[in-house]
Amino acid sequence: MNYISWNVNGLRACAKKGFFDFLQAESPDFCCLQETKMQPGQADFDLGSYWAYWNSAEKKGYSGTAIFAKEEPLSVNYDIDDPAHVGEGRAITLEYPDFYLVTVYTPNAQDGLKRLDYRMAWDDAFRAYLQALDQKKPVVVCGDMNVAHQEIDLKNPKANRMNAGFSDQEREKFTRLLEAGFTDTFRSLHPTAVGAYSWWSYRFHARQNNAGWRIDYFLVSDRLRDNIKRAEILSSVEGSDHCPVLLELEF
């Protein structure tokens, strides 16, 4: 099975930059999106044979997730079963016979780490949610997790330490998530790859200079580690300040 995850930074804008050409060319079994920044009725997209699931933020033009799936799921769940974390459209879970698929747009700690406390609470709640799913069947989780885990995962680690996305606290929470029974698929196959980034600032010609961060992930339950066939960052695909990431699993 082929999976794509992409923070499109506004699906309507990305659609004008070739998103649907990309979707048709790749034809993944699942396409998971973050930062859709829209309600489903705000645009009329031809999704062909895909089933579409949307979790939009209450605030228009903000956040939001979606999953386009070729196969209808057994069940669909929105958010993460915690009343403290609803309203921003940050997660969708699809259940299939052999696995759960979760897409997530993790809250940003923001400049000056002013939303760090909320981010820490989210990380704990999201980890607990995934662990509960994992007790039932294996989990595939993807999305913009808004953290570069290790120094290898961003261009300028020393200059960015304690900035949002590279604070000690966020990195530690990500470590705890992996220790809870999940595998970073890209690092599993490419443990020493450098310059492998999925997000670049729009400033300072960052993308042209590949001064980026790897903050978009596919994680799988540890027991799916041997099922990983490909895990790639599609850095040549434009249309957003993020690029898509790809996972291929064999069941």
Q: Supply the residues annotated as catalytic.
A: 105, 144
Residue type, 132: A
Give the C-alpha separation, 132 to 92, whole Å. Answer: 15
**4 alpha carbon, distance to own chain's centre:** 9
Strands (E), the chain: 2-7, 30-34, 51-55, 65-69, 75-78, 91-95, 100-105, 139-144, 182-184, 199-200, 212-213, 216-221, 228-233, 245-249
Strand order in the sheet with 2-7: 51-55, 65-69, 30-34, 2-7, 245-249, 228-233
Please tell me the distance from the alpha carbon of residue 143 to that of residue 126, in angstroms, as a whole number: 13
Bridge partners of residue 249, in order along the sequence: 228
Neighbours of 94 (CB within 10 A): 23
Distance CA 140, CA 182 (A): 9
Q: State how far the Cα of 177 lies from the Cα of 123, in Å rounded to an integer.
A: 8
Q: Determine contact, residues 180/221, Cβ cutoff 8 Å.
A: no
